[in-house]
Amino acid sequence: MSKVQVGIIMGSNSDLPVMKQAAEVLEELGVSFEVTIVSAHRTPERMVTYANEARARGIKAIIAGAGGAAHLPGMVASMTSLPVIGVPVKSSNSIDGWDSVLSILQMPGGVPVATVALNGAKNAGILAAQMVGAFEADIAENLDKFKQAMKEKVLDAAAELEEKGYQAF
């Protein structure tokens, strides 16, 4: 892969089962990425360094996943002008995931964080690819093919349902 284009960060390795979905879709779309742990609460210095150095390292977007209080996406967004996509993660200490959703979603004016659904890392990966693809034709072409494949899958399923009837499912 080429120079890293998207950073995927998370507060804890317990977030990895969700966050790996972003890595998988980025890999499928041909977008280079890195994955690491950056905790807003347990390693704040590491978070500051990551946010401050990301652009210089060639990163074009950051996907930040966090559960519970979920401060990581917002804190990173406060330190960089790169787009940050927040992934609320339903963690073991979460209040049904709502604490994470609201912590990431309700950012103050001037510090935007694009927020996907609870455990929506796949969509975060697609959104990051779209951000990169806005300026890179090969990534845009991969996204077009990806979306066409989704369309064909739905049309195939519709044709099969209509042919066999709902009882066959």
Q: Looking at the domain assignment, is residue 62 inside a domain?
A: yes
Does 157 fall in a domain?
A: no
Q: What's the farthest any 2 CA atoms get from each other in the chain?
A: 59
Q: Give the position of tokens 């950073």.
A: 7
Global pTM reads: 0.94
Token pair 């210095």 is at which residue?
45
Is 12 labelled as part of a ligand binding site? yes
**CATH number assigned to the domain comprising residue 130:** 3.40.50.1970
112 is a domain residue:
yes
Q: Which helix (H) or strand (E) holds 113?
A: none
Q: Is residue 42 part of a domain?
A: yes
pLDDT value, residue 1? 42
21 assigned to some structural domain: yes
Q: Is 55 annotated as a binding residue?
A: no
Is it the case that residue 153 has pLDDT exceeding 70? Answer: yes
Residue 83 lies in a domain: yes
Question: What pLDDT score was predicted for residue 2?
Answer: 52
- Look at residue 147 and tell me whether its pLDDT is greater than 80: yes
Residue 163 resides in a domain: no
Parent domain of 67: 6-139
Q: Which helix (H) or strand (E) holds 144?
A: helix 137-164
Q: Is 99 annotated as a binding residue?
A: no
Determine the average pLDDT of the residues in 73-100: 94
Name the domain count of the chain: 1
Give which of 49, 45, 47, 66 is closest to 57, Cα–Cα: 49
Q: Is residue 154 part of a domain?
A: no
